[in-house]
Structure 1
């Protein structure tokens, strides 16, 4: 019951690569970029470059670990092998909770977008959305892979189209690029500190690429697919994030960007592109459903992996004989997410706000664990790991100097301590 090959191996390279790509292009990319642009100004490109470099370096760490210790499942299994059961227990449950909260956020987002068109009570709509996406994950792992492949393809197509439109506008229209970049306070309208301050926001929008290491476990060639996914992430971050944001900054004054309003939609409106609102709504909906789909997948597999190592109840090791799916882990993860979504309705500020605040600290911790594991197991070329630690340190400093994100570090640290204590006092089940 506890062998990793219980799960299916029906994902292909194209699935894993697109899953990795979809992980770094969420709904936050299309909407959340406005907050970074309005605070950082034109020089925010440097913040995007730094955040993208950190995401790439962390993925390199996961690649190195996968090649050094083949057959150790996802990044969580690599952390366990490198740093021990205790570190894996804390990292695994922190990661699971992060995605449970993220799923709830996406369910709320999709329900909010659909509410004007579907005359159902909000809570019923949330449950219906969750039921449909859980059903997708209960079909087969290949079914999940196909859905995520096409979800990601739509997001990629949208970005490619935007880049194409932006380049066409620059070449064929008299765009005042110099004024857009320099005439509204210069490149650094809010100073160097603002560039540091927006890095956490950008990192959160890029989060999720590590899903590829989880999905690769159920693919036809785990180690090679992780390598390919890592390579694709580097190219896509540079090609999609930085190029598209650079086009926004060239085509419209950064001061016209309003937090909460898509900067891409602003550009399309200025260029009088027809049906821009409808197109972006479809893309954002797709991005949210993609994150929801991947969230259910990754939480169930992490729960399965935690059970494999004895860090979760053994009942989550049960795999359906025909589909090779951990059905109990899928259903429990989906149920936990809908509970968090219900909490958001009942106590949006206090309890739900507290839960969302945990994710920032969890993200910093897990990235640090991945880098630490790489330093221990793969001491060659340590400069990449040290560079990642420097960038993680910059992120931590950036979060601590801002009141809005300082609480994320404090609350995240407190929650990590509770998980650590749980590992100390909860009897550990011996792996089967």
Structure 2
């Protein structure tokens, strides 16, 4: 993949439709919750059970290692976004640092990932609703997508408010679990003494061997995807520079507390080989502690998490598409915004793809829809690697030319940047040796090849970008 900026064709640039200026409608509280909500999703509430079943109590290590990697990537993003807070999508930071090819590739890969996620989350939300409502899966998935589309179409503030309250519910749930779970484990529970036996009682702390820890890391990283959305949303905040610094700093401690803290309690309260972990480890833990109505409470929380992801997926995909349009990588007509500063055409284009995904989930769930899901499986890791490479190059450029712009600093640069890049390569490589992940890696590499080929075609045609 070329990272050298191609020569622009000296042809008249098309006028920018309706002056695509987004409104600064997000406040600091919105951005903080967007950052937290981005990493606390159904992957934690439900998917953590699968990780524990695969790795045993050593799932703690999988979450620690994956959490550290995501934190490092977020810190790198925070450094770049604080230096250039008005660029919009973080794919523009990659473009600025590594060139047109990297910007095009990261933008379309990330867009593809999120439009597939939107369709998947809509179907997941509908399946949860079927616990209470007897209705067709496809119809409820369609209704959920339409509702979240309407939220995004209203204004960026509406998106921020919904995400604030969705994320608040998730955060409160985790905090309640941490408090109650800690009391139970430490013996501060009625008729219950301290107990940590489940950490070693069933074939030891690492019952499935060290390789299983890497299997868990692959799953965990995908469950943490979303923290980077805050660097996209910050462009629509009143004070993006300050907002990015605060939000990225908040993510660092919260990821380790919410994820790692929860997993420590789960593997302490429950035997790792408990069959109930498959449905939801949190429901199983609340049942053990005797909390009434645990299943319905957690299903409602998981539905909130799914709607949050659906809401953020539409927002993120539309803003990435907007960024691509500004550079001539997508139709310029998608730049049009309404009087409230909402990129209507970009949003509708993204949800249109999601509707196709919902239809495929109904028509061909085990073939075409599964193919689409697997083809986006490793995409985020590719994008994360480009983020690391972009930060490595941009930091050195800033140190030479504009050191005053380095307001958020990556720790132990460049050592931790290189370490993160090596870790990503190791995780991607390990997918080849994990039976359930090999197909995702192969199909994701095909997706990368397709996007790279599309860039070469675009470069030959010499499509001009809009002036910024």
C-alpha contact (below 8 Å) 1:96/1:302 kept by paired residues:
yes
Which consecutive residues of structure 2, in runs of 5 or more, have no partner in the other structure? 1-15, 400-412
In structure 2, the partner of 1:354 is 371
In structure 2, the partner of 1:37 is 52
Name the stretch that deviates more: 97-106 or 170-179.
170-179
| One of 420, 443, 448 as aligned partner of 1:416 | 448
The structural deviation recorded for 1:258 is 4.5
Change (3 A) 1:428 1:286: farther
The structural deviation recorded for 1:124 is 2.3
C-alpha contact (below 8 Å) 2:20/2:341 kept by paired residues:
no
C-alpha contact (below 8 Å) 2:18/2:337 kept by paired residues:
no
| One of 330, 333, 338 as aligned partner of 2:347 | 330
The structural deviation recorded for 1:428 is 4.7
TM-score (norm. length: structure 1): 0.96
Q: Give, in whole Å, the separation in 2 of the partners of 1:307 and 1:65.
A: 22
| One of 169, 183, 188 as aligned partner of 1:172 | 188
Matched, 1:77 2:99: no
In structure 2, the partner of 1:314 is 332
C-alpha contact (below 8 Å) 2:20/2:343 kept by paired residues:
no
Q: Give, in whole Å, the separation in 2 of the partners of 1:52 and 1:2.
A: 41
Q: Give, in whole Å, the separation in 2 of the partners of 1:268 and 1:240.
A: 17
C-alpha contact (below 8 Å) 2:51/2:220 kept by paired residues:
yes
The structural deviation recorded for 1:332 is 1.1
| One of 385, 400, 411 as aligned partner of 2:417 | 385
In structure 2, the partner of 1:185 is 203
In structure 2, the partner of 1:89 is 104
Change (3 A) 1:274 1:120: closer
Matched, 1:431 2:465: yes
Written as runs of structure 1 = structure 2, the 5 A alignment for 1:32-431 is 32-170=47-185, 171-173=187-189, 174-175=192-193, 177-256=195-274, 258=276, 260-320=278-338, 322-379=339-396, 381-426=413-458, 427-431=461-465
Q: CA RMSD in A?
A: 1.7
Change (3 A) 1:120 1:271: closer
C-alpha contact (below 8 Å) 1:181/1:250 kept by paired residues:
yes
C-alpha contact (below 8 Å) 1:175/1:251 kept by paired residues:
no
Q: Give, in whole Å, the separation in 1 of the partners of 2:134 and 2:337.
A: 37
C-alpha contact (below 8 Å) 1:310/1:428 kept by paired residues:
no
The structural deviation recorded for 1:17 is 1.0
Which consecutive residues of structure 1, in runs of 5 or more, have no partner in the other structure? none
Count of residue correspondences: 431
Q: Give, in whole Å, the separation in 2 of the partners of 1:120 and 1:183.
A: 44
Q: Give, in whole Å, the separation in 1 of the partners of 2:329 and 2:151.
A: 27
Partner of 1:429, secondary structure, is coil
C-alpha contact (below 8 Å) 1:312/1:429 kept by paired residues:
no
TM-score (norm. length: structure 2): 0.89
Partner of 1:7, secondary structure, is coil
